[in-house]
Amino acid sequence: MEFVSIRTATLRGDQKIDFDLYIQIGAKYIAYIRKGDSFEGKRLDRLREKKLKKMFIRPEDEQAYRGYVTQNIEQAYDTKSPKPLENRVAVIQGAQQNSTEAVLENPESQANYDQAKDGAGRYVEFLMKEEKAVQAMLNIENTEHDLAHHGVTVSTLSVALANKLGLTDQAKVQLLALGALLHDFGHMKKTYPLFKPLKDMSKEEKAEYMKHPQVGAESVQTHRHFDKVVIQIIQQHEELVDGSGYPKGLIEKNTDPLAVIVSSANDLDRMMLSQKINRNEAGKTFMIDRLGLHPLDHFKMLKAIMG
């Protein structure tokens, strides 16, 4: 029997599935969930606990699967939807994570890139329109320290910050959101622990870790479908306004303004993940620990965004 892999992150939403789902154990495919089930509540939690990133369907069910995903996303973005925002946001988070992963894993595909870019545009519109969307997105915890999930959180924080800064150019904010999703491209295929605090890393780990913005930018710049500013964000997202960041030690005026925003958002999420700081404390702790490293107004705005 043949099987097609699909991402578990796409299996959100309260619609019943109309295809069978399999998991792979060794060389075998085992039927895991049957047609007619949905992924709300405990079933989805159990699936997440298993940390299964991929599941499998039969090739003849591919169309049914695609229809399911599209319908879930359409319903989630429908502002008139009677469904709770929390459920809609879970689907949107999954969709964003999915399109991010697709580009991280397969950057040479222009189709993947374009899909992530369109998705980023739609996502920006959603965040701007739905007042409580940012909070609801931040409520979805990255318990597995997943790189794509980190990208989605940094993207959410960046868009919310841009909104507070009065950045209204929709096309620019779309590229900001996309760049933030992909900012840590350089961490792909790395073996060091991603969210270990830098101070706890060995000298070798730290040296290797600090190459990631440069490595990331270099590996995507040969792909012509990547927007210049997205590459710039990948390259500069660890720079700090006082010049103490890396890889180049650029001060704020020499850094792309969109990368300055992503740097603040990234540093905040990384702090929460690596130091296990909860959201209520994060805004305050960030300001105390990182004052001088990001624009002053970013601290106040991010504190307000964190709620």
Binding site for Fe ion (CB under 5 A): 184, 266
Q: In b/e form, how buried is each residue of 53-80, taking b as 16+ CB within 10 angstroms? A: eebbbbeebeeebeebbeebbebbbeee
Beta bridge partners of residue 54, listed in sequence order: 7
Shorter beta-carbon distance to Fe ion: residue 33 or 182: 182
Least distance in Å: CB of 186 to Fe ion? 7
Shorter beta-carbon distance to Fe ion: residue 65 or 185: 185
- CA separation for the pair 206, 168 (Å, rounded): 38
Shorter beta-carbon distance to Fe ion: residue 12 or 270: 270
Least distance in Å: CB of 152 to Fe ion? 11
Continuous H helices in 106-191: 110-129, 133-138, 147-164, 170-182
Which residue, chain included where needed, has tokens 């990368």?
259
The DSSP H or E segment spanning 30 is strand 28-33
Shorter beta-carbon distance to Fe ion: residue 42 or 199: 199
Least distance in Å: CB of 36 to Fe ion? 40
User: Amino acid letter at 151?
Assistant: G
Shorter beta-carbon distance to Fe ion: residue 59 or 193: 193
Least distance in Å: CB of 281 to Fe ion? 20
Least distance in Å: CB of 296 to Fe ion? 22
Q: Tell me if residue 188 falls in helix, strand or coil.
A: coil
Least distance in Å: CB of 57 to Fe ion? 32
Q: Is the dihedral of CA 86, 151, 199, 260 positive or negative?
A: negative
- CA separation for the pair 89, 115 (Å, rounded): 19
Which residues have a Cβ under 8 Å from the Cβ of 58 and sit 6 or more positions away? 1, 2, 3, 4, 19, 20, 22
Shorter beta-carbon distance to Fe ion: residue 38 or 285: 285
